[in-house]
Structure 1
Amino acid sequence: MTLKKISFFLSLFIALSFVLKGQDDQQKTQVNPEARQYYYEANKYQAQRAYKKVATLAKKAIKADSSFKEAYMLLGTAFNKRNKLKKEKSVYQNLIKKQPEYPGSYYNLGKVHMQLKNYDKAKQKFQKFVNFPNAPNQYKEYAEKNIKKAKFRLKAMQNPLPFDPKNAGGNINTSAGEYWPVLTADANTLFFTRKIIEDSTSFGMRRFNEDIFYSKKNQDGTWRKAQHAEGHVNSKNYNEGAITLSPDGNYILFTGCQWPDGLGRCDIYLSKYKNGTWTEPENLGRPLNSSAKETQPSISYDGRTLYFASDRKGTTGKLDIWKSKRKPNGEWGEPENLRVINTSGVDQSPFIHPDNQTLYFSSKKRLGMGGTDLFYTKKDSVTSKFKEPKNLGYPINTQDNEISIFITADATTAFVASKMEGGYGNYDIYHFKLPEKIRPKPITYLKGKVYNAVTKEPLKADFELLNLKTNELAVKSHSAAKSGQFLVPVQSDHNYALNVNKAGFMFFSDHLPVKPYDSTKPYIRDIPLQPIQKGKKVVLRNIFFELDSYKLKGKSKTELQKLAKFLSNNPGVSIEIRGHTDYQGSKNYNRKLSKKRAKEVYHYLINQGSIKADRLTYKGYGEKE
Structure 2
Amino acid sequence: MRLILVLFFSSIFLSSFGQEDYSVDDKKAIKYYEVALQSYNMKSLDAALDKLNSAIEREPDFIEAFLLSFEIYIEKGEYGAAEKSLLKALTIDADFFPNGHFFFAELKYKNGDYKTAKVAYEKFLTFRRTNPNMQDEATRKLTNCDFALSAMEDPVPFEPVNLGEGVNSEHSEYFASLTTDDKNIYFTRRLPTNIKNGEQEDFYRSSFNGDWQKAEEVFGINTPLNEGAPFISPDGSLFFFVACADNTGEYGPDRNGYGSCDIFYSTRIGETWSKPNNIGSSINTVHWETQPSFSSDGRTLYFIRGLKLRDGTISKEDIWMSTLDDFGAWSKAVKVSDVINTPQKESSVLIHPDSQTLYFTSNGHPGMGGEDIFLSRKQKDGTWGTPVNLGYPINTYRNENSITVSANGRLAYFASNREGGYGGLDLYSFELAEGYRPMKVSYMEGKVIDKDNGRPLGAHFELIDLETEEVVVESFSNGKDGTFLVSIPEGRDYALNVEHRGYLFYSENFSLAESSSNEPYKKRIELSPIKKGESVVLRNVFYATNSFELNPKSRAELNTLISFLNKNYRLKVEISGHTDNVGSALANKTLSDNRASAVRDYLIKEGIPKERLISKGYGAEKPIAENDTEEGRAQNRRTEFKVLSVE
TM more than 0.5: yes
Is the Cα–Cα contact under 8 Å of residues 161 and 435 in structure 1 kept in the other structure?
yes
Q: Distance in 2 between matches of 1:448 and 1:563?
A: 23
Query: How far apart are residue 279 of structure 1 and its match?
Result: 0.6
- How is 1:195-344 mapped onto 2 (pairs within 5 angstroms)? 195-200=190-195, 205-218=196-209, 220=210, 222-230=211-219, 232-236=220-224, 238-258=225-245, 259=251, 261-311=256-306, 318-340=316-338, 341-344=340-343
User: Is 2:25 the partner of 1:58?
Assistant: no
1:531: Cα distance to partner? 4.9
Which structure 2 residues correspond to residues 486-501 of structure 1 after superposition, within 5 A? 486-501=484-499
> Any idea what the Cα deviations from partners look like across 1:316-339, whole Å, max 9, x if unmatched?
962222111222322111211235
Q: CA RMSD in A?
A: 3.4
- Would the aligned equivalents of 1:494 and 1:515 in 2 still touch at CA under 8 Å? yes
Specify the alignment match of 1:590 in structure 2. 588
Question: CA separation in 2, counterparts of 1:614 and 1:356?
Answer: 39
- CA 1:100–1:310 in structure 2 vs 1: closer, same or farther (change >3 Å)? closer
Show CA shifts across 1:453-499 (max 9, x none). 45545433233222222333333322113332111111233211112
Q: Give 1:181 deviation, angstroms.
A: 0.9
- The separation in 2 between residues aligned to 1:330 and 1:133, in whole angstroms, is 57
Equivalent positions of 1:34-433 (< 5 A) are 34-47=28-41, 49=43, 51-95=45-89, 98-99=92-93, 102-104=96-98, 106-131=101-126, 140-200=135-195, 205-218=196-209, 220=210, 222-230=211-219, 232-236=220-224, 238-258=225-245, 259=251, 261-311=256-306, 318-340=316-338, 341-382=340-381, 384-433=382-431
Q: What residue identity is the alignment partner of 2:421?
A: G
One-letter amino acid matched to 1:209: Q
Aligned CA distance change for structure 1 residues 113 and 576 (closer, same or farther; 3 Å): closer
Q: 1:410, 1:519 within 8 Å by CA — same for their partners in 2?
A: no
3-state secondary structure, aligned to 1:75: helix
**1:507-559 deviation line (CA, Å, top 9, x unaligned):** 32211111113262432222233456776553321221222112333433443
Mapped contact 1:13–1:47 kept (Cα < 8 A): no
> Residue by residue, what CA displacement relative to the aligned partner does 1:551-585 show, whole Å, maximum 9, x if unpaired?
33343344345445556766897765442224543
Task: Using the TM superposition, give the Cα deviation of residue 15 of structure 1 relative to its aligned residue in structure 2, in angstroms.
Answer: 4.6
CA displacement at 1:389 relative to structure 2:
2.6
Question: Aligned residue for 1:546?
Answer: 544
Residues 485, 94 of structure 1: CA spacing in aligned structure 2 closer, same or farther, 3 A cutoff? Answer: same
The residue type paired with residue 489 of structure 2 is: Q
How far, CA to CA, are the matches of 1:137 and 1:464 in structure 2? 54
User: After superposition, what is the alpha-carbon deviation per residue over 1:279-326, rounded to whole angstroms, capped at 9, x for unaligned?
Assistant: 111112222222222222111221211111123699x96222211122
Letter in 1 for 2:154: N
Separation of aligned partners in 1, 2:426 and 2:38:
42
For residues 78-98 of structure 1, the C-alpha deviation after alignment (integer angstroms, 9 at most, x for no partner) is 444455544444444544554
Kept after mapping to 1: 8 A contact 2:307/2:316? no
Superposed, which structure 2 residues align to 1:495-534 within 5 Å?
A: 495-503=493-501, 505-518=503-516, 520-531=518-529
Alpha carbons 2:283, 2:333 under 8 Å: kept:
yes
Measure how far apart 1:380 and its partner are.
Answer: 3.1
Equivalent residues of 2:390, 2:436 under 8 A apart: yes
| Deviation sequence 1:31-81 (CA, Å, 0-9, x none) | 312212222233344345554444433222111112211112223334444
Q: 348-357 or 569-578, which moves further after superposition?
A: 569-578
- 8 Å CA contact 2:354–2:439 kept in 1: the answer is yes
AA in 2 matched with 1:595: D
SS of alignment partner, residue 318 of structure 1: strand
Q: Partner amino acid for 2:233?
A: S
**Aligned CA distance change for structure 1 residues 453 and 41 (closer, same or farther; 3 Å):** same
* Conservation of the 8 A alpha-carbon contact between 1:17 and 1:108: no
Instruction: Between 323-332 and 137-146, report the one with greater CA deviation.
Output: 137-146
Could you tell me which amino acid in structure 1 is paired with residue 229 of structure 2? A
User: What is the CA-CA distance between 1:614 and the residue it aligns to?
Assistant: 8.0
TM-score (norm 1): 0.86
Query: How far does residue 345 in structure 1 lie from its aligned partner after superposition?
Result: 3.1
| Aligned 8 A contact 1:592 1:622 in 2 | no
**Matched residues in 1 for 2:315 and 2:5: separation?**
24
Distance change (3 Å), C-alpha of 1:64 and 1:577: same
SS in structure 2 of the partner of residue 622 of structure 1:
coil
Per-residue CA deviation, residues 228-263 of structure 1 (Å, 9 max, x unaligned), is 223x32233x32221222232211222122225211
Contact 2:203 2:217 (C-alpha < 8 Å) held by counterparts: yes
SS in 2 for 1:127: helix
Q: What's the secondary structure of 2:475's corresponding residue?
A: strand
**How many aligned positions are there?**
605
The Cα of 1:359 is off from its aligned counterpart by 1.7
For 2:540, give the aligned amino acid. Answer: N
Q: Which amino acid aligns with 2:445?
A: K
Aligned residues of 1:255 and 1:267 also touching (Cα < 8 A): yes
Q: 1:83 to 1:529 in 2, by over 3 A?
A: same
C-alpha spacing 1:81/1:162, structure 2 compared with 1 (3 Å): farther
One-letter identity of the residue aligned with 2:212: W
Matched residues in 1 for 2:6 and 2:138: separation?
A: 19
SS for the counterpart of 1:191 is: strand
Contact 1:568 1:611 in 2 (8 A): no
Work out the CA distance in 2 between the residues paired with 1:123 and 1:614. Answer: 76
102-111 vs 119-128, which moves further: 102-111
CA distance in 2 between counterparts of 1:101 and 1:506 reads 82
Contact conserved, 1:247 with 1:488, CA < 8 A, in 2?
yes
| Structure-2 separation of matches of 1:612 and 1:142 | 69
Gaps of 5+ in 1: 1-10
More off after superposition, 458-467 vs 76-85 = 76-85
User: 3-state SS of the aligned residue for 1:117?
Assistant: coil
Letter in 2 for 1:191: Y
Equivalent-residue separation in structure 1 for 2:131 and 2:234 (angstroms): 54
Alignment-mate amino acid for residue 113 of structure 2: N
Task: Select between 347-356 and 471-480 the one with higher mean Cα deviation.
Answer: 471-480
Residue type of the alignment partner of 1:282? N
> Unpaired runs of 5+ in structure 2?
246-250, 624-647
| TM-score, length basis structure 2 | 0.83
Match for residue 25 of structure 2 among 22, 26, 31: 31
| 8 Å CA contact retained: 2:184, 2:205 | yes
Specify whether residues 519 and 312 from structure 1 end up closer, same or farther in structure 2 by C-alpha distance, changes over 3 A only. Answer: farther
2: CA distance between counterparts of 1:40 and 1:359? 55
2:145 is matched by which residue type in structure 1?
A: A
Please give the alpha-carbon distance, in whole angstroms, between the structure 2 residues aligned to 1:410 and 1:136: 49
CA distance in structure 1 between the aligned counterparts of 2:560 and 2:330, rounded to whole angstroms:
26
